[in-house]
Amino acid sequence: MYDGDIASVLISEEQINQRTAELAEILAKRYPPSTDGDPDSDLLLIGVLKGAMMFMTDLARALPIPTQMEFMAVSSYGSSTSSSGVVRILKDLDRDIADRNVLIVEDIIDSGLTLSWLMRNLASRNPRSLEVCTLLRKPDAVRADLEVANVGFDIPNEFVVGYGLDFAERYRDLPYIGLLDPKVYSS
Ligand SMILES: O=P(O)(O)OC[C@H]1O[C@H](OP(=O)(O)OP(=O)(O)O)[C@H](O)[C@@H]1O
Ligand code: HPA
Ligand SMILES: [Mg+2]
């Protein structure tokens, strides 16, 4: 599949599964299930489409606590390997998040533009708490000084694909994170 487009595997399927289980354990301690029987007390996972779809579904299944799921679709990359700097909402939430414990689930924080925009946007809707869990983080995000409590892997500043992450909508279906051969985007 995609013969020759992937220069190397950066994070294998096994490594993703193992780290997801570790993150789920940490998150279950951070968000103990409530005993009040109110569904609105469940942790609300907000997956950022499309990139976070794989991580969101695997994380939700690994979490030993009840969660609810919502999705937002935003886009800033299109068919480029750098952010356009303009975050567009393609699909908004279907529900109110006021007074909910919200966990944004992201596939990657690269420049940090998407997440800082999203944090501001969601914070204005008055959740009880708002935190982030991202599978991947690149060095620029560290410099952007975003407070991210839960990070799967810190990775080098190279364009990666697979496990939800795309280049021009391809490669999302790979089960691992791979480095995209620069010949694919420079030709
Ligand atoms: O930190 P940043 O530099 O803002 O980059 C991170 C964002 O970029 C990607 O989304 P993209 O715009 O490619 O949309 P997609 O998830 O539909 O592929 C990725 O899924 C993150 O949401
Ligand atoms: O390295 C990346 N790969 C795919 N999508 C992305 N969106 C931000 N950074 C990346
Ligand atoms: Mg993309």
What ipTM describes this predicted complex? 0.98
Are the C-beta atoms of 93 and 73 separated by less than 8 Å?
A: no
**Residue 97 counted as domain residue:** yes
Choose which residue among 49, 50, 76 to substitute to test ligand 1 binding: the one with the highest number of ligand atoms within 8 A of its C-beta. 76
Q: Whole-model pTM above 0.80? A: yes
Residue 21's domain comprises 12-158
With a 6 Å cutoff on the Cβ, whether 111 touches ligand 1 is yes
Burial environment of residue 85 by CB neighbours within 10 A (0 to 12, 13 to 18, 19 or more):
exposed
**Residue 165 counted as domain residue:** no
**Residue 182 counted as domain residue:** no
**Residue 175 counted as domain residue:** no
With a 6 Å cutoff on the Cβ, whether 81 touches ligand 1 is no
Give me the residues of the chain with pLDDT under 50, please: none
Report how many domains make up the chain: 1
The CATH number covering residue 134 comes to 3.40.50.2020
**Residue 163 counted as domain residue:** no
Which spans in the chain are helix H? 13-30, 53-62, 113-123, 139-143, 182-186
**Residue 5 counted as domain residue:** no
Q: Identify which ligand lies nearest to the alpha carbon of 142.
A: 1
**Residue 68 counted as domain residue:** yes
pLDDT at 127: 98
Burial environment of residue 62 by CB neighbours within 10 A (0 to 12, 13 to 18, 19 or more):
middle
pLDDT at 161: 97
**Residue 171 counted as domain residue:** no
